[in-house]
Each structure stands twice: as C-alpha cells, then as structure tokens.
Amino acid sequence: MTKGPDYTRIERVKEYFRRSDAGEFAAELFAENFQFYWPKFGVGHGKASFFEMAGGLRGCRVRSASHHVEDFLFIEQGNRMAVEGTTEGTGFDDVQWHGGRTPGGRFCTVFIFNDQDLIVRMHIYLDPDFTGKDQQGFLWPQRSSQQW
C-alpha cells in the first residue's frame, strides 16, 4: 500500500489487523527488525520471530479469529499509538469467544512508528486464554455481577 496525502497511521494499523485476520503479514508496514511483545512468548524481533509466535497461536490455540476493526479506540501521541479493541473467534477446542461478551477477547496494542511511518515496535497486551479454559486464573469466580 502506498502512502498518499490522506494516509494516516490509523489506516496503517487498521490494514495490519485486517490483513492479519486474513492470514497475511503486512511486512511493508514494519521496519526490518521491528520489536514486538506477546504475553507468554515475550519479546521478539523481526518477521521470522513474529511468524514463530503466530505459528504457535494458529497451530494449537486458535482455529479462527477476527478483530472488530471499526470499533477500535485509537490514542495517538507523537509517533506512538495505542489501540484498544475486541476480537472474536474459535479455539481448537471449538469454544468460541467474543470480546465484551466472554472473558477473552479484549486487547490493547501499543505501536511506535519511525520517520518513514513504519512500525518499529508493537507490544500486544491481552489474556492469551481466549476461551476462558484456565479456570484457576479466575480469581473472582463468585462475583455477583460479572460483565465482560
């Protein structure tokens, strides 16, 4: 995708999520050795490390997933952008999740861009227990009014 006069970082981030949902990696949006963070994986650098992380998700945990891109909340400051949103999908155990309706599915990702508007850092914050399988992780199982 080329950068025109109306092209924004928000559009770049939306493109990343849409293409990710389609099973693609939008490499042209990232600097060569970008840094990323994923819970339980840790920090990685570059495309090969990112594919290693993504392969672990697609290989054993997530059958399908999509982001609710049009509902994202964007917060920009300088070359940084925070994105808050929800996802929905199905795990390999055939349990579905839907952010806002089930325990899993909410996330926040923080991006940093360089002077060419390429992503140099992407840290993803979420609970990787999308389907709520880890019952010991629910520290308040008896809450009287539980909203997700």
| Closest among 47, 24, 34, 120 to 80, alpha carbons compared | 120
The yes-or-no verdict on residue 5 having pLDDT over 50 is no
What would be the CATH architecture of the domain defined by 31-130?
Roll (3.10)
Name 83's bridge partners: 74, 109
Q: What is the pLDDT of residues 46-61, one digit of tens each?
A: 999 999 998 887 767 7
| Domain residue limits, the chain | 31-130
Cite the DSSP H helix spans in the chain.
9-21, 46-60
Which residues make Cβ contacts (< 8 Å) with residue 37, sequence separation at least 6?
43, 44, 122, 123, 124, 125
Percent of the chain with pLDDT over 90: 68
- pLDDT of 1 strictly over 70: no
The predicted structure's pLDDT at residue 28? 96
Q: Which residues contact 25 (CB under 8 A, 6 or more apart)?
A: 19, 47, 50, 51, 54
Give per-residue pLDDT as tens, 68-110. 999 999 999 999 999 999 999 998 889 999 999 998 999 999 9
Quote the pLDDT of residue 99: 95
7: pLDDT confidence band, cut at 50, 70 and 90?
low
pLDDT at site 130: 84
Over residues 30-48, mean pLDDT: 96
More confident residue, 116 or 128: 116
Start-to-end Cα distance in the chain = 36
83 CB neighbour count, 10 Å cutoff: 23
- pLDDT at residue 61, as a whole number: 78
